[in-house]
A and B are shown apart, each in its own frame.
Chain A
Amino acid sequence: MTTKTESKLEKLLARGEFVISGEIGPPKHAGPEGIVKHAENLKKYIDAANITDNQTAIVRMSSIAAAFHVLRSGLEPVIQITCRDRNRIGIQSDLLGAYSLGMRNVLCLSGDHQSFGNHPTAKNVYDIDSIQEIKLVKDMRDSRKFLCGEEIKQNEPRYFIGGVANPFADPLEFRVARLEKKINAGADFIQTQAIFDMGRFEKWMEMVRKRGLHERTNIIAGLIPLKSHKAARYMQKFVSGMLVPDEIVYRLEKAKEPQKEGVELCVEQIKHLKQIEGIKGVHIMAVAWEEIIPTIVEKAGLFPRPSL
């Protein structure tokens, strides 16, 4: 099987493996130890890890730098580049630099608005949007061109390109169209927003399959393991773009051991998602609970992970 890039994620997907990616949030300081520890603990249990880019617009160590520590620890990183903080010059420059450091996957996204973060008075950039960013990465790889049209004479960055999709945002019908745009722009894989409302997700997947989009990209379903009903309620109320049904909140509230119940729920979701046509893997976003990932992966019967 030929692949476009050197990405391990791409190779596993091409082989038909059900992939698991995780997420590591860089620290709010300049020390790499925490990232390295997470990477070492997770590397046997997940195939790749997203390294978030100033998530929720809070200043953290840069995604690329943190990803470098992850890579050195033996785990494949997926760098994230939002359109919020850099213009087309900065984005292309970072893509070149990150590739030179060994990065092979990139996730393109608009980014949370700065009003959510710790610098709400910042000026945002949004020179290009996430779809234009996907196309830019693809054109650099496949046409060996910068956005301006100038040729990349040698060593073009060859990224496995990711985009995000939120089946829980509105308008629902346009969510599928937007996914199609991302695929047309060049998204090789798509990570979805965390799924709690399985009914709505399946409805969305049905629309996706109807347009044959699941065959044109690799859809990886997003999940967040919940620690408590409070976490669930918080996401339901305050995190934009999320849909958390009340049943889930109640289930955790009633549970004697909420953390165990949260793991149980996540494992159930994985097993269910594995049965849905067109789902190529899961993306577990255990933000600030990274240590739970091995348990979930084992319980879901997805351990050991395949090697290349």
Chain B
Amino acid sequence: MIVAENKPFHDILGLIEDAKKILIVGCGGCVAVCLSGGEKEVGVLASALRMSRKKEGNPLETVEVTLPRQCDPEYMDMLKGYVKEDIDCILSLGCGVGVQFIAERFSKWVIPAQNTKFAGGTIAHGIWEERCGLCGECILYKTGGICPIIRCSKSLLNGPCGGSQNGKCEVDKNLDCGWQLIYDRMKKFGKLDLLLKIEPPKDWSKSRDGGPRKVVREDVKIS
């Protein structure tokens, strides 16, 4: 899932400073699962913003709505009825994709309430970790299912740098060294010889470095 985290409250407050009435849009997708942008989080943020503004003597009116997802035009349709004339701006609790989909669809000023962090998963309730670097050409079959691109702080492809000690990364003593994990797993599967092969430079053009990416599937296109 895409993992996101609320921007600091005062940042959000500053971003909606001029608005009197805002539409707060949650997302029922990834950010609801990582407990940062679903219906409940919309409620908490809306209530906090209203109280804060009321305290300042500058009351804020809020309209709350949570879409099943913000990254599909069909769900975006549902927002139509809420984007009324008197809405000064839209505050999205979606990931960066959601914010942009709203901006593309409606001619209203859109503000992100979240910092979109990474593609990851739940480690335990309340703990999420990054797992995929979205590089566009998966090499997990070479590294025992552990990604060196995103789990090595330097994205090294040929083994750990000299900063790996006691299984931890030089960048942060609480961070596992991705290459130590790869080494351990390859050892377990008797595949250490695979790590001796020199991995050639990666084709980063398949990653973001090639410019904004797009996937087209003719077979599922409707028109």
Residues of chain B with a CB closer than 8 A to A129's CB: 154-158
Chain B, 156-200, contact with A by CB distance < 8 Å: what is the 0/1 string? 111111111111001100000101100110000000100110111
| Chain B, interface residues (CB within 8 Å), range | 20 to 34
Given the known inter-chain contacts A127-B201, A135-B198, A177-B196, please indicate yes or no for A166 contacting B180, CB distance below 8 A.
no
Q: Is B153 an interface residue (CB 8 A)?
A: yes
Residues of chain A with a CB closer than 8 A to B162's CB: 110, 164-166, 169, 193, 240-241
Q: Quick check: A113 and B158 within 8 Å, CB to CB? A: no
Hey, which bits of chain A sit against chain B, CB under 8 A?
Answer: 83-84, 88, 110-113, 115-116, 124, 126-132, 135-136, 147, 164-166, 168-171, 174, 177-178, 180-181, 184-185, 193, 240-241
| In-complex Cβ contact of B160 among A112, A168, A174 (8 A) | A174
Q: Quick check: B163 and A185 within 8 Å, CB to CB? A: no
Q: Quick check: B158 and A132 within 8 Å, CB to CB? A: yes
Chain B, 26-64, contact with A by CB distance < 8 Å: what is the 0/1 string? 000000000000000000000000000000000000000
Q: Quick check: A170 and B154 within 8 Å, CB to CB? A: no
Q: How far is the CB of B139 from chain A (nearest CB, A)?
A: 13
Q: How far is the CB of B167 from chain A (nearest CB, A)?
A: 6
Residues of chain A with a CB closer than 8 A to B155's CB: 126, 129
Knowing that A170-B166, A177-B196, A181-B196 are A-B contacts, what are 19 other residue pairs whose CB atoms are under 8 Å apart, sorted by A's residue number? A84-B154, A88-B201, A113-B171, A126-B156, A129-B155, A147-B201, A164-B162, A168-B165, A169-B161, A169-B163, A169-B164, A169-B165, A170-B165, A170-B180, A171-B180, A171-B184, A181-B159, A241-B162, A241-B164
Residues of chain A with a CB closer than 8 A to B166's CB: 170
Cα–Cα distance between A204 and B198 once the two chains are bound (Å): 21
Across the two chains, which residue of chain B brings its CB closest to A166?
B162
Residues of chain A with a CB closer than 8 A to B160's CB: 169-171, 174, 178
| In-complex Cβ contact of B198 among A115, A126, A168, A181 (8 A) | A181
Residues of chain A with a CB closer than 8 A to B201's CB: 88, 127-128, 132, 136, 147
Q: Is B204 an interface residue (CB 8 A)?
A: yes
Across the two chains, which residue of chain B brings its CB closest to A174?
B183
Q: Quick check: A170 and B153 within 8 Å, CB to CB? A: no
Cα–Cα distance between A166 and B200 once the two chains are bound (Å): 22
| In-complex Cβ contact of B157 among A132, A184, A240 (8 A) | A132
Q: How far is the CB of A269 from chain B (nearest CB, A)?
A: 19
Q: Quick check: A177 and B154 within 8 Å, CB to CB? A: no
Q: Name the residue in A83, A128, A135 with the highest tally of chain B Cβ atoms < 10 Å from its Cβ.
A: A128
Q: Quick check: B154 and A126 within 8 Å, CB to CB? A: yes
Q: How far is the CB of A165 from chain B (nearest CB, A)?
A: 8
Given the known inter-chain contacts A112-B163, A170-B180, please indicate yes or no for A177 contacting B195, CB distance below 8 A.
yes
Residues of chain A with a CB closer than 8 A to B156's CB: 110, 126, 129-130
Q: Quick check: A83 and B158 within 8 Å, CB to CB? A: no
Cα–Cα distance between A74 and B171 once the two chains are bound (Å): 38
Cα–Cα distance between A193 and B157 once the two chains are bound (Å): 21
Given the known inter-chain contacts A126-B156, A132-B157, please indicate yes or no for A170 contacting B200, CB distance below 8 A.
no
| In-complex Cβ contact of B154 among A110, A132, A165, A166 (8 A) | A110
Q: Name the residue in A113, A170, A174 with the highest tally of chain B Cβ atoms < 10 Å from its Cβ.
A: A174
Q: Quick check: B192 and A177 within 8 Å, CB to CB? A: yes
Residues of chain A with a CB closer than 8 A to B202's CB: 127-128
Cα–Cα distance between A116 and B166 once the two chains are bound (Å): 19
Cα–Cα distance between A124 and B177 once the two chains are bound (Å): 18
Q: Quick check: B196 and A180 within 8 Å, CB to CB? A: yes
Given the known inter-chain contacts A169-B165, A240-B170, A241-B170, please indicate yes or no for A132 contacting B159, CB distance below 8 A.
no
Q: Quick check: A181 and B158 within 8 Å, CB to CB? A: yes
Q: How far is the CB of B47 from chain A (nearest CB, A)?
A: 34
Across the two chains, which residue of chain B brings its CB closest to A178?
B159
Q: Quick check: A240 and B165 within 8 Å, CB to CB? A: yes
The 4 closest A-B pairs by CB, nearest first: A166-B162, A240-B170, A131-B158, A240-B163
Given the known inter-chain contacts A132-B201, A177-B195, A185-B198, please indicate yes or no for A170 contacting B167, CB distance below 8 A.
yes
Cα–Cα distance between A165 and B155 once the two chains are bound (Å): 18
Q: How far is the CB of A304 from chain B (nearest CB, A)?
A: 33
Residues of chain A with a CB closer than 8 A to B199's CB: 131-132
8 A-B pairs with CB atoms under 8 Å apart are A110-B156, A115-B171, A128-B201, A132-B157, A170-B165, A171-B164, A178-B159, A240-B162
Q: Quick check: B154 and A113 within 8 Å, CB to CB? A: yes
Given the known inter-chain contacts A84-B154, A131-B158, please indicate yes or no for A184 contacting B163, CB distance below 8 A.
no
Residues of chain B with a CB closer than 8 A to A165's CB: 162
Cα–Cα distance between A28 and B136 once the two chains are bound (Å): 39
